[in-house]
Amino acid sequence: MVSQEIRKVASEIFKLDPQIIHLGLIDLEGHVLIDQSSMSSEPLEPDKDRMMFYYQVGLRRSRREHFNDTYGLTQYVHIVREKMQQLILYLPMITVYLTLDKDLSPERISQIAKKVQNIDKKILDDAINSLFFANKTKV
C-alpha cells in the first residue's frame, strides 16, 4: 500500500514537467515505493521485471555512493535510449527514476533534475517519515 505522503511526492514530481512519462520511487534497498504513469491517477502494480529493474537501480546507487568521497556526490544520471530518456536522481532516502520524452534537450533534462532536487523539503520529509512509521504499532 502506498502512503499518501509518497503519493504527494509523486504528484509534485509530475507537476514539474509535462514531458515526464513515468515515475518510480525506490527506497535505499531497491524496493518499489510507487510506480506510476503520468497518464494514470493511480499507482501501478509493477511486474516482476520492473521490480528487478528498480532493485538494480537501488544497487547502482549504493555502488555510486562508494565513490562519493573521491569524486563527489552524483547530481543525477541521464540515460539516452532510442525510444526514451531516463533520469535518475538520488534524494535523501529515496531514488527517483523518471522516463522522459525522447526529444527533450540535455538542457531541459538538467532543468527537470534541478526542479526534482528542489522539491519542498517538508513534502519529502513527510514521505520519508511515512516509510519509517508505516508499519509501526503503538505500544
Tell whether 40 is covered by a domain: yes
28: nearest Cα among 77, 1, 2, 64: 64
Closest CA to 37 of 84, 77, 94: 84
Residue-level pLDDT, tens digit, the chain, 139 residues: 688 999 999 999 999 999 999 999 999 999 999 999 998 878 888 889 999 999 999 999 999 999 999 999 999 999 999 999 999 999 999 999 999 999 999 999 999 999 999 999 999 999 999 887 765 443 3
Does some domain include residue 70? yes
Tell the residue number behind the cell numbers 506510476, with chain if given: 36
Instruction: For residue 54, tell me if it sits in a domain.
Output: yes
With H, G, I as helix, E, B as strand and everything else as coil, classify residue 117.
Answer: helix
In degrees, rounded to 5, the angle at the alpha carbon of residue 31 between the alpha carbons of residues 13 and 98 is: 30
| Model pLDDT, residue 132 | 78
Domains: count for the chain: 1
Does residue 138 sit within a domain? no
Residue 139 lies in a domain: no
Record the pTM: 0.90
Which residues constitute the domain of residue 84? Answer: 4-133
